[in-house]
Chain A
Amino acid sequence: MPITVGIPRALLYHDFGELWHSFFSHLAVPVIVSEETNKRLLDRGTTLAVDESCLPLKLYLGHAESLLGRCDRLFVPRIVQHHQGFHFCAKFAGLPDIVRNTFHLPESKLISPVIQTGARSEILKAAAAAARSAGKTPWSGWRSYRSAYTAWAQARDREVPSGNAFTPRIAVIGHSYLLKDRFLCGDIFAVLKANSVTPVTDDEVPRRRLYQEAGHFAPDIYWQMAAKLAGSARYFAHHPAIAGLILVSSFGCGLDSLSLEYIEQQILGSCGKPYIVLNLDEHTGRTGIITRVEAFWDLVKWRRKLESNLPAYGLSQRPHPLYDGELEY
C-alpha cells in the first residue's frame, strides 16, 4: 500500500516546496499539497491556534488540518538553523510539536527531518529518515534528495530576468510566506501592477548578494529571516532604480517587531526613499491594504516629480558603480 504524503502550503513551503515536492516524486511517493490560502483555511487556523500565535502559524495549522484525512503522513520539518550562525524562529524549531499537540497526532504520523546545523551529514540523515518514514530505503532517499537538490539549486541560481528599462520599481520586502501567499499579499502586487509599477522582491536579487548585504549587520542579527529582510532592505534602499519600499509584516511576528525597528533605524531612516510598513492580521480587510498601497504610490509619484527638477538622488538612472549588472533596467 503506497503511502501518501501531505504538505501544507504555508511557511517554508513557499521557499522549499519545490525541493520537497521533487524529493518525494523521485522517491515515487505520492504527494498532496493543500490548496491555496483562502478565508476558510484562515478561519480554521485561527480557531485551532493558540491566540497569541503569529498569523503565518495560524495559517499553517489551517492548511495542515485540511490535509489530515487525505494523507498518511504529514511532512513537517523541524528547521532550526541551516546556515552557521543564523537561527530560525522558535516556531520553526517547535513546528512538529505544535502540529502534534494541536491535532493529537502520534509521532509516526509525521515526517519530520531535523535540520539544525546544515551540515552535509545531517542532510544525509534527514533524507534517509524521511525516506524511511515514507516506507522507502535510506539509499533511495539519498539518491532522490541528490537529484531533487541539484535541479532545485540550478533553478534557484539561474539569472533572474530583468524588468523593463526606465520604469520605476517598488521593492516589496517581507517573509516569503507572506509575499508569496496570494490571499495575503496578492492585492499589494495587483495594485502596483495596475498602476504600471513593476514590483520587485528579493527573489530577483542574487542570494550571494543578499547575504553580503546582511553581513553588514552581523553579529546583531542572528535570525535567518531577519537577516534576509535586512539584506534586501539595504540592497533596495541603495539601489538607484528603486523608487520606494513596502515592508510587509504580520501580526504576532516576534522577529519583525524588533527587526523592523532595527531596519528603520539603521537603513530606511537615512536612505531618503519613501517607505511604508504594512501589518497584516486576520482582520485586515482588502480595501485597507489597497488604499494604503495606492496612497503610497501617490506619494512616490509626487516625490519623483519633485526630485526630477533636482539632480536626482534616489531615482537616478545612472548606473550606480556598486550595482552594475545585477538588476538591469
Chain B
Amino acid sequence: MGYLSAPIRYMMENLNIEVIEPPPITRKTLELGTQHSPEGVCLPYKITMGNFLESLEAGADTLVTLCGAGKCRFGFYGAVQKTVLGKNRDIQFFTLDTEHLLRDLQRLLGKFAPKAGQLAIGRNIALTVHKLRALDAINEAKSFYGARAAVPQKTLDICEYGAGEIANCETFGEVIDTRDTVIDVMRSYEQPAAAPPKVAFVGEFYVLLEPYANRWLENELIKQGLEVKKFVYTGNWAYAKVLLQTLGIYNEEKEYLREARPYLNYHVGGDGLKSVGTTAWCASRGFAGVIHLFPFGCMPEVVAQYALKNLCEDYKLPLLTLSVDEHASDTGLFTRLEAFADCLKRKQSLTSE
C-alpha cells in the first residue's frame, strides 16, 4: 500500500522469509478483485482482493493483511476474504490487528523466521518504521519543492528514485543520509516565487496512500502548481501505532475531536473524525482549499461529508469532494481537479493584487 510495501519486503527478506509481493496494481488487479467481491463493497476491499488473487497466482501460500475491529468494514475485510479465498485452496491467512500491531508483527515474524532472535526482529521492525518515516519526509518535501519548481515532473522523479534507495538502506545512519541528500537535491530546483496555494488532502487512509487508487492525484496537483499537505503518512502511522500506542502515551482521537467540534462530536470509525478535525485545523491556518477523497460509499466519510459541507461553508473554504470506485475515469477526475486548481489560483491572484 503506497510505499509501505518496499521496506516491509526488505524487512522480511532480511529475516530470510521468502516474500511474494503482489505485482503492482493495474487495471487487471482491480478487475480481478471486483469480480470476486460483492458489488457494493468499498474500493479498498476490491483492490486488496485483487492483490491477494494475483499473489496466489504468483505462488504465495500465506497472506498477511491488516485488520482493526471498529465501526467500519475494514475490520471485517479479513474474515470475508479468508472465507472466499480459502474455499478451494489451502492457504494460511494472517491478520495483524492494528490495535496490537507490535505484538502481532512480532508473532508473525517469529513464526516465519524461527531462527532470528527477538532482538533481530525488534531491530528490523524499528529500521522499517524508520524508513517509512524517512519516506514521509521526502514525500512532504516533494510537495513543497515540487510546487515551487519550474519543472515539477523532475522533483517527482527525484522523489521516486530516492524512495527506492531508502527502501534498500541497511542501517539507520544510511537512511538519514539518503533522506537528506534526496531532499537537498529537490531543494536545488526551487524557484524564488510567491508561495503556491496550499491544499489539504483529507479522507480515507487507504485511498489517500495508495497512488493507484487515487490516480496519482497528489502528483497531479503538484504539477498544477499546488502545494499538497497530506495528513496521513504510513511512517507516522506505523510509528504512532507500533510505538506510542503500545506505550499508551498517544491518543490522536482526542485532538481531532477538539478540532472537529462542533461539526462532528464523536468518533465515527475509520478516518471520518480525522477528516473533519484536520479540515477544521486547516481552515484557520490559511489553506486555500480542501480535497476530500474517499472510496465510494465509505461509511465514516459519508458522515464526515455532512460536517465538511457545513464547515467549509462557514469558513468559505473551497471543498472538492471526490469519491472513487472501480469505475472512476481519469479524465473525469482530472477535469474536476483542474477546475478546482484554477479556481484556487485565481482566488489567490485576486487577493494578492
Contact = CB atoms under 8 A, between A and B. Distances in A.
A93 B38 contact: no
Nearest to A253: B40
B76 A221 contact: yes
A226 B305 CA distance: 24
Given A52-B296, A254-B297, A266-B83, A97 B306 contact: yes
A220 B263 CA distance: 32
A98 B84 contact: no
A52 B308 CA distance: 14
Contacts of A221: 76, 79
A12 to B, nearest CB: 15
B71 A50 contact: no
Given A52-B323, A96-B265, A90 B306 contact: no
Contacts of A100: 262
Contacts of B207: none
B300 interface: yes
Interface string B273-315: 0000000000000000000000011111011011101100000
B305 A219 contact: no
B196 interface: no
B73 interface: yes
Interface string A45-59: 000001011000000
Interface stretch (A122-130, A255-263, A314-322): A255-263
Interface in A183-229: 219-223, 226
Contacts of A101: 263, 306-307, 309-310
Interface of A: 50, 52-53, 78, 80, 87-91, 93-94, 96-98, 100-102, 104, 107, 114, 219-223, 226, 251-262, 265-266
Contact of B310 (A104, A114, A255, A259): A104
Given A87-B71, A257-B41, A258-B45, A50 B297 contact: no
A50 B309 contact: yes
A94 B80 contact: no
A29 to B, nearest CB: 24
Contacts of B40: 251-254, 256-257
Interface string B67-84: 001111101110110011
A178 B35 CA distance: 28
A251 B296 CA distance: 12
B80 A258 contact: yes
A97 B299 contact: no
Contacts of B268: 90, 93-94
Given A93-B269, A97-B266, A257-B41, A52 B306 contact: no
Given A89-B71, A90-B269, A97 B297 contact: no
A168 to B, nearest CB: 29
B7 to A, nearest CB: 30
Nearest to B265: A97
A143 to B, nearest CB: 28
Contact of B41 (A78, A97, A258): A258
A89 B266 CA distance: 13
B262 A254 contact: no
A266 B307 CA distance: 37
25 contacts: A50-B309, A52-B297, A80-B71, A87-B69, A87-B71, A87-B269, A89-B299, A90-B71, A90-B299, A94-B272, A101-B309, A221-B76, A252-B40, A253-B40, A254-B73, A254-B297, A257-B40, A258-B73, A258-B76, A261-B37, A261-B38, A261-B80, A262-B79, A265-B83, A265-B87
Contact of A93 (B71, B77, B296, B305): B71
Contacts of A219: 69
B69 A222 contact: yes
B260 to A, nearest CB: 9
